[in-house]
A and B are shown apart, each in its own frame.
Chain A
Amino acid sequence: MLPMTVRDNLSFASLHRISSGGVINRAKEQKLIDEMIGLLAIKTAGTDIAVGSLSGGNQQKVVIAKWLMNKPRIILLNDPTRGIDVGTKQELYVLLRKLADAGAAIIFYSTDYDELIGCCYRVLVLYDGKVKRELVGEEITERALIASALNMEMGKALYP
């Protein structure tokens, strides 16, 4: 919701946490928001400016922060770093690592191989609606990923 403020966007998914009986507790809201901005290092001139004036990467951080405010135990991410600058990508990876270490389960969908290799313990490759292959730990290499994604058997490369 681009014309709305950073504050409004951040608190949207967790309104029930900062309000009682429908009335918003401004102090609680501010505290949680400040926490989130610190946690994700969102670069913004203030919480009352329109979210549309932030950079793409920061906007994505706002969206992620919005849901993190709920302190979720399971996090589903769909291509969270698409179209974001490298610096912000790094910050996101560090954050996800922190969250995982703190006990959250993160399911991460991505088409960026480097991301998958760098971040994940396990990778499930889907093809034609079914799980084609499960790669764990050291098995996650670019070659393995591409081969599974294209439904080719390992070792039977087209060009030797």
Chain B
Amino acid sequence: MKDWRFWFAEQRGTFMAIGIFLVMFVIYSSNHPAGFSANVVQTASNKGVLLAFVAMAQALVVITAGIDLSVGMIFTLTNCMASWLVSGTPLQVAFGVIIVLLTGAACGALNGAIIIYGRLQPIVATIATGAIYYGLALALRPFPGGTVDETLADALTGKLFHFLPASLVALAFVVLVVWIPFSRSVIGRAAYAVGSSEQAAYMSGVPINRAKFATYTLSGLLAGVGGLFLTFFTYTGEAAYASGNAYTLFSIAAVVLGGVSLFGGKGSAIGAIFGALAFRTIGDLLFVFDFDPLWQPLFQGVVLLIAVSLGAFGLLRIRNRLDWFG
């Protein structure tokens, strides 16, 4: 049997996500009043990329069979930080960007440390750290405001060569620089092993703690990139609880849509990206079809419900009832 067949079967979730996204996007752009123009793609890309970054962050953690309910708050915190720091002389701007990214990574590292060395369950630990990060964000920005270097912001949310959204290029860059090296490294492999079966990974001498720590830190970093981008997009920093919460929950949805198993060990961040883009596009579909925006939350919810129920069809293939249980 050819090797590529195995690879294809492994990546089935990711390909499904890509498929769903393409279908949704075709429907969206063909019905958009402005048609398939560069501007339409740019706006869609900007909004989608925000969720994509947070979804990537969540995917990393979910691969290790964990969950991070604080990604939305890291996103918000870095947004508020960036609204303070990323402005001024080019040197200050560069410095600001680095500090913001480091903050994201630090938040992730804190999550990791508490979960690994404190031996707490990820769900509860990240609920608590999420509250802490939100508090910090609120301290930085009790009211929306702040500025950001406009040339940088416009460059990264604008278009290259008049048609390619710069945000997509940035997304691709981050994938290239963060995800690809990670997934091919020993640490990345270890992360998958930990998610698959932590005990077996331990028995096999896999560096569990290092893998988990690296995962959470990178996840924080990616959420930080997302927060940075939000600042570029909106020119302000805002500590909005509802928005942060929504990003956390949507990132979980995107991750599931992207074929990453919540039980760990399976899936890829690329799938999560397409899951995020698909999720955003679905939301925008309503706008395109001129439905009352009042129906949008319901529509998104129902679509989510259907999407996750689709996974249940795998059940029909199971012949031994015991396979239902882990």
- On whether A and B touch (CB less than 8 Å), the answer reads no
